[in-house]
Amino acid sequence: MSALPQSLKKVVLITGCSSGFGRLSAETLALQGHCVYATMRDPYGRNHSAAADLQRIASRKNINIQVLALDVTDDTSAKAAVKKIIQDEGHIDVLVNNAGIMNVGITEAYELDQIKHQMEVNFYGPARLDRLVIPYMRKQKSGLLIHVSSLAGRLVFPYFGSYCASKFAMEALAESYRYELSSQGIDSIIVEPGPFDTSLISNAPKPHDHARLAEYGESAAYPDKMLAAFEAFYQTGDAVPPQQVADDIARLIDIPHQLRPLRTVSGLDYGLRKLNSRIKTVQGELLETLKLQSMDPNAAPHEAASVKS
């Protein structure tokens, strides 16, 4: 991968870099020459090993990765991280809203506090970070908001109820920002990964309401069987490496303002590309009816397929 010319190098803030897509994206973008702030919760405690690993990679490969503490559910933490980057760099060019958790189980058995936490991380977290960086992007008349969603941000998977709800909500926010911010030089886009072998499944919180679970009898075991099937799939030759998502994020950053697709499906899609194409037509008709069609910066392509590396 060749280094970018100085004029194309960006200051990039990525959330959720302790593992998975965030970790891969941090290294991928830094190798291209971008200045990457790889953020995570508690880099000096529970995520010390992940933070130290990123710092060793940065030193060994002579790339610009700065590890920074950022809890997307905490206003003070998020404000401090953004303030630090602005103080050090003077600007933020790209925000990658990647941090996320995934509730997988009998939906009714998740207690309300668990559902609230799902939304706090996956929806309010991106909303919090977007609001913090948009004023700086508006001032510089340029910027890119990348929202890492999921197939579950458009398709409903049984037993993923609250996770789907959080990603559906994030996609609605991101698409609204797409229309409202484009004229100010800011792009808001969505990346929709398919099934990938990351820590989301192994770290998936289980439902706490065991009394509700008992009401489901033998079917309460179905979510675990489904997750086991996904784990088995990841060991086959049909699985797409998680690096694909990092490569797609890097490619989207390189595309000029207003030419980036709103949605990019990364990896296997279970028919989502077809659904996105159909909804694009309906959404376009809605904007036309409202006489707001000029707010859509690029009517085509509305959704882009990733290219396997």
Confirm whether 222 is domain-assigned: yes
| Residue appearing with tokens 């309401």 | 209
pLDDT of 1 reads: 44
C-alpha dist (Å) from residue 83 to 34, 67, 133, 145? 19, 14, 10, 17
Confirm whether 150 is domain-assigned: yes
- From first to last of the 309 residues of the chain, give the pLDDT tens digit: 445 666 679 999 999 999 999 999 999 999 999 999 999 999 999 999 999 999 999 999 999 999 999 999 999 999 999 999 999 999 999 999 999 999 999 999 999 999 999 999 999 999 999 999 999 999 999 999 999 999 999 999 999 999 999 999 999 999 999 999 999 999 999 999 999 988 788 788 999 999 999 999 999 999 999 888 888 888 888 889 999 999 999 999 999 999 999 999 999 999 999 999 999 999 999 999 999 999 988 654 444 555 443
pLDDT of 197 reads: 85
* Number of domains the chain contains: 1
Confirm whether 90 is domain-assigned: yes
Confirm whether 257 is domain-assigned: yes
Confirm whether 1 is domain-assigned: no
| Residue appearing with tokens 């060793």 | 56
Beta-strand runs (E) in 128-179: 143-148
Provide the domain limits for residue 263. 6-305
Active-site amino acid positions? 18, 149, 163, 167
| Count of Cβ atoms closer than 10 Å to residue 57 Cβ | 17
Name, in order, each residue with C-beta under 8 angstroms of 174's C-beta and a sequence gap of 6 or more: 126, 145, 147, 149, 188, 189, 190
pLDDT of 3 reads: 59
| CATH code: domain of residue 36 | 3.40.50.720
Q: pTM, whole model, 2 decimals?
A: 0.93
Confirm whether 294 is domain-assigned: yes
**Which DSSP state fits 3?**
P
